[in-house]
Structure 1
Amino acid sequence: MLYITVITFLLYTCFIAWYSWHKTKSVDLNSSDGYFLGGRSLTGIVIAGSLLLTNLSTEQMVGLNGQSYGSSMVVMAWEVTSPIALIFMAFVFLPRYLKAGITTIPDFLEQRYDMRTRQIISILFLLGYAMAYLPTVLYSGALVLDTIFSLSSIFGFGDYGMVLVVSLVIGVVGILYVVLGGLRACALSDTMNGVGLIVGGLLITILGLVALGGGDLVDGVNTLLQKEPEKLNSIGDSSSPVPFVTIFFGLLFNNLFYWCTNQAIVQRTLGAKNLKEGQKGVLYAGMFKIFGAFYLVIPGIIAYHLFNNSLSNADMAYPSLVIEVLPTLLSGFFAAVLFGAILSSFNGALNSSLTLFTLDIYKPLFKPQATEKQLVKAGRIFAIALGLVSVAIAPLILFAPSGLYYYLQEMFGFYNVPIIAAVVVGFFTKRVPAMAPKIALCVHIVLYALSKYFLGEINFLYILSVLFPVCVFVMLIVGKFAPREEEFVLYNSGKVDLTPWKHARAFTVVMIVLMIAVYVLFSPLGIAA
């Protein structure tokens, strides 16, 4: 029956590729706006789908379900609290980004501080993508595809060889998307795969409950609720992967970085047709994130009960559940959707990386007079090189002791706080000088590295809770004693209409109420009693 899985996988994957190419033909891919930002033509639905798929990939489906398998619903905080950061994005960050007409986050940092700040932050982003994010996406994707298609058994690969070969295939396809289609092709394929991923993810949860109940959905739900109900508790203590108190501090700062300043995510919104469509896309994505726990966390707990906690590697919980419960006729389709999710995250980071390299490093340092066509060519060459480096690093995540998702977030911790601090201080002060973010960055990296050495047993979210105010304080002190000569005024580029979405505030209130309701549901006040 494997051939049925392969045929359905290929049919769906090829259809998405053709559709993305067909819809991209009208965009001028030889201009930087057309190639890097999709011609600033993205609508709310496309932005929301692209945000979700750039974020929701196998590193989350495998990683978060792996964490819930090994702990409990506390890890849903990574998903369910994301709307808070997206609300900040819609009302605070995005209006300023679109007003300035920036192409990258470091582009704003140059406007606010100087070119050197822009280049330093760009290099940090590129190192983070190359060393952590892209390899993690490839590694998690390799785990899933190997489990579905039994590649290790068919070809006789060991774990290292399997991850390397599958990562290479994913990397080559992802590079082709980015090199040939730019941001718009990536965003369109994201939107199509987004529907399939959410439907398929919820289907795995339902089928998992049916399997847990011996063929009866109601019995499966009862088993989930009654067998170790503490697994359904989202309120974590100090020893849990996400202590509840960090939701309002370290996790919030981490999410603000990810959703408001992470180039791979923010680039989707920078391609918005106008502020109204940008806010729609951001808030729609926030609404979907509230319910992400039902297909990104609960399946891990179902796997815990279904396999009687017998898996030696928690990151195998989700792939094992997929194979256990999904009918053969649907396995190819879901594999194709997962493959699309893998490509989405990989493409998003790769597209952002080549944008950062081309506009923030290549043009100002190596070829200031480069034409639009030369910039696009340089970006394509860099994308190929970065993609191949990520493929080489991906198998090394096999040796990460805390699982792939925790590894990814800890690695982000080396540079996320000073970036969000630089942007926030840049928004709300006028005299903080260019040296301030550089000093704060150095202070943060030193303190974070020391915390890993001397306080390694303390959850890194506690560390981020302290380091964000430290970075802000350092920048304000520098601004107090060495202020810039002229006040900063945010430039109005006039590139897009800045009229806000009239329903944004009402939509936000509904979203916050639903977020609180989900937390009450998965707590001792709800089903975790």
Structure 2
Amino acid sequence: MLDTIDMVVLLIYFILILGVGIYASCRSRRTTIQGYFLAGRNMNWILVSGGTSLFVSNVGSEHFIGLAGSGALNGIGAASLAINPIFLLQLLGWIFVPVYIASQTTTMPEYLEKRYGGKRLRIYLAVLSLILYCLTKLSVNLYAGALFIQQSMGWDLYISITLLICITGVLTITGGLTVVMYTDSFQAVLMLVGATVLTVQGFVQVGGYEGMKAKYMTSSPNLINIEEVYNVTVNSSNECIPYPNPEAFKLLRVSLLHYNMNVSISVWYWCADQVIVQRTLAARNLSHAQGGTILAAVLKTLSVFVMLMPGLISRILYTDELACVPGDHCLKVCGSSVGCSNLAFPKLVLGILPSGARGLMMAVMIAALMSDLDSIFNSASTIFTLDLWKRLKKSTTNTELMIVGRCYKIFLLILSVVIGVSIGWVPIILQFQKGQLYFYIQEVTNYISPPIAAIFLMGVLWGNCTEKGAFYGGLVGSLLGVSRLLVIFVFKPPKCGEVETRPAFLTSMHYMYYSALMFFVTIIVAVIVSHFTTP
């Protein structure tokens, strides 16, 4: 638990972040559309335009919890997903951003309308984006942040989440994107420093990298000790005991070649998602936007070391808890019968850091949660105001749009509280990826994003793609994704030792191969329809 010194560190953090927010709010141009939603398109590359702010808008509390948990359970394999953005960010900076800036685009749905004509693609993407932000990004971030707060502070879960949401909302509502970018830049420094300190301290505990490798491969749970401590009878079959993965320190494995099929989700997230792209659109010119993507790629590389490695170290130090046996043992450790790997990061923080440093890491987790939430609030407000409200009401003034944007953020705050209160449903969803939060995010997103990525890629790279081609291609791809997503919720995976009863539709094809299928089907349908319709 955190002590008095830790709480003082937390208080200092809140004072600093509020000070940065107030300073940025005074500097922001909050009375115009460009000023409020795109920070006046005057941000420089090193502080906010794409580098630190773009990095922080991607790295939230779910990355600390999820990457460390995957490291504890499977080794360094998840790093291949964290390295992908190095290349995708340059695709954003040198292929997509020049098109977005040249077309004076404010939102991603607006670009689709400018590129293809018509309004249905713009409305479709706007509605889909808002649903995704509310039901995926908000819920996952709240769950990850709540897990850390619950472990470290013992506060009431829902009061803590509500307080964080309200503080984030006040900063975002008052100053718009300028405040978001300044606070993100401050939080980026805090995240990297805090996570680096934890990683170095962890390596000291296990004897460096070579010591970590040797000890990780022997970190098997002690079944006799588990039965005595937790008063449970564990299933001693080999398939149920989470022994260390023999390929734990192989970055590219046979089972991880699926990641190479992950282009569609990566293109959507890094090149066409409003939360990410909005930062580059706020750059003062193309050079600053491209410089920002380079800086963000460098910072993203660091996440492999300061978020994934602590998970491996944590498993070594807390083997019986993190490598729990599915069933009653895991249920007693963390309340989930499928696994407790998501506890890896908070357990390491609370177990090895001294007083004060624990408070710093708590501030890091809060910073990660707040940075993700403020990015979501601002981007969702931008899409709702400019892509939906402006479409529904033709004659509107800038003042009205400012009021609508702020009111929608207040609506999101209330919705976030509702999601936070009902956050108990998230662990149930996590059953689908053996409790690994990071891979749950990957799977769900892989069923939604491929058609969007295909539409944007064809829009930028192929001038003959028509509006009807893009719309019907996206529609077919989305139907394929939704159909599999619904089947997943109906047919739950078997528990350890149970017989597989799910249809071959789920078991015979990995979700990343299915994602690739959706991506190419969307392109094929769009090409065929485009050849029979007028450009």
What TM-score does the superposition give when structure 1 sets the normalisation length? 0.84
> Structure 2 residue aligned with 1:286, among 293, 297, 314?
297
Matched, 1:6 2:7: yes
Deviations 1:85-125 (A, max 9, x none): 11111110011111111110111001012222111101000
Q: Hey, what's the Cα distance between the residues in 2 that align with 1:94 and 1:467?
A: 25
Which residue is equivalent to 1:237? 254
Contact 2:448-2:481 at 8 Å conserved across structures: no
On the 8 A contact 2:45/2:288 being kept in 1, the answer is yes
Say if 1:354 and 1:382, in contact at 8 Å, map to a contact too: yes
**Residues of 1 paired with 2:16 and 2:427: CA distance?**
33
Q: Contact (CA 8 Å) 2:24, 2:175: kept in 1 or not? A: no
Contact 1:432 1:483 in 2 (8 A): no
1:391 — aligned with what? 417
The corresponding residue for 2:176 is 182
| Equivalent position to 2:387, from 360, 384, 387 | 360
Does 2:518 correspond to 1:467?
A: yes
Task: For residue 252 of structure 1, report the CA deviation from its aligned partner.
Answer: 2.0
- Per the TM alignment, residue 224 of structure 1 is displaced from its structure 2 partner at its CA by 4.8
Structure 1, residues 476-499: CA drift from partner, whole Å, max 9, x if none? Answer: 111101132xxxxxxxxxxxxxxx
Cα-to-partner distance string for 1:242-280 (whole Å, 9 max, x where unaligned): x22x3332x222111111011111111110110000000
- Asked whether the 8 Å contact 1:415–1:441 carries over to 2, the reply is no
CA contact (8 A) 1:183 1:351 kept: yes
SS in 1 for 2:252: coil
Matched-pair contact (CA < 8 Å) for 2:113–2:122:
yes
Match for 1:326 among 344, 350, 353? 353
Q: CA deviation at 1:309?
A: 4.3
CA drift of 1:428 comes to 2.2
Larger displacement relative to structure 2 (303-312 or 89-98): 303-312
The one-letter code of the counterpart of 1:377 is I
Q: Aligned partners of 1:55 and 1:44: how far apart in 2? A: 17
Distance in 2 (alpha carbons) for counterparts of 1:209 and 1:277: 37
Amino acid at match of 1:132: T
Q: Is the 8 A contact 1:117 1:438 kept in 2?
A: yes
1:351 aligns with 2:358: no
Partner residue of 2:120 out of 116, 120, 127: 116
Give CA-to-partner distance per residue, 1:193-246, whole Å, 9 cap, x none.
Answer: 111111211211111222234xxx5784464576467322222333xxxx22x3
CA distance in 1, matches of 2:80, 2:55: 16
Counterparts of 1:150 and 1:209 in 2: how far apart (Å)?
Answer: 28
Give yes or no for contact 2:283–2:289 (8 Å, CA) kept in 1.
yes
Structure 1 residue runs of 5 or longer lacking an equivalent are 152-156, 485-529
Shift of 1:127: 0.3
TM-score normalised by length of structure 2: 0.83
Q: Counterpart of 1:212?
A: 206
Q: 1:224 to 1:197 in 2, by over 3 A?
A: farther
Tell me which residue corresponds to 2:192: 198
SS in 2 for 1:30: coil
Contact 1:13 1:340 in 2 (8 A): no
Q: 1:438-449 alignment to 2 at 5 Å? A: 438-449=471-482
Match of 1:502 in 2: none
Which amino acid is the alignment partner of residue 450 of structure 2?
Answer: V
Indicate if the aligned counterparts of 1:175 and 1:347 stay in contact, CA closer than 8 A.
Answer: yes
Distance 1:189 1:77 in 2: 29
Tell me the amino acid that sits aligned with residue 25 of structure 2: T
Letter in 1 for 2:413: G
Distance 2:78 2:148 in 1: 20
**1:260 and 1:266 in contact (8 A); partners too:** yes
Give the secondary-structure state (helix, strand or coil) at the position aligned to 2:248.
helix
Q: Tell me the number of residue pairs that the alignment of Structure 1 and Structure 2 aligns.
A: 464
User: Structure 2 residue aligned with 1:48, among 48, 51, 55?
Assistant: 51
- Note the 1:353-432 alignment, pairs <5 A: 353-365=380-392, 367-394=393-420, 395=423, 396-400=425-429, 401=431, 402=433, 403-432=436-465
What's 1:521 paired with?
Answer: none
2:223 aligned with 1:173, yes or no?
Answer: no
What are the within-5 Å matches in structure 2 for residues 70-109 of structure 1? 70-109=73-112
Of 139, 142, 147 in structure 1, the residue corresponding to residue 146 of structure 2 is 142
Percent of aligned pairs sharing the same letter: 27
Asked whether the equivalents of residues 417 and 467 of structure 1 are also in contact (C-alpha less than 8 Å), the reply is yes
Contact 2:381 2:405 in 1 (8 A): yes
Q: Offset at 1:136?
A: 0.8
2-side partners of 1:258 and 1:465: how far apart?
15
Q: CA RMSD in A?
A: 1.9
Report the alpha carbon displacement of residue 456 of structure 1 after superposing the two structures with TM.
2.4
Is the contact between residue 451 and residue 463 of structure 1 (CA under 8 Å) also seen in structure 2?
no
Counterpart CA distance in 1 for 2:459 and 2:320 is: 48
**Contact 2:72–2:314 (8 Å) recurs in 1:** yes
Amino acid aligned to 2:506: G
Gaps of 5+ in 2: 219-243, 323-329, 331-339, 488-502
Q: Deviations over 1:392-433 (max 9, x none)?
A: 234121222123322322332333111111111111223322
SS of residue in 2 equivalent to 1:415: coil
- The verdict on how the C-alpha distance between 1:424 and 1:20 changes in structure 2, with shifts beyond 3 A counting, is same
Alpha-carbon offset, residue 6 of structure 1: 1.3
Q: Tell me how far apart the structure 1 counterparts of residues 72 and 213 of structure 2 sit (CA, whole Å).
A: 18
SS in 2 for 1:232: coil
CA contact (8 A) 1:5 1:333 kept: yes
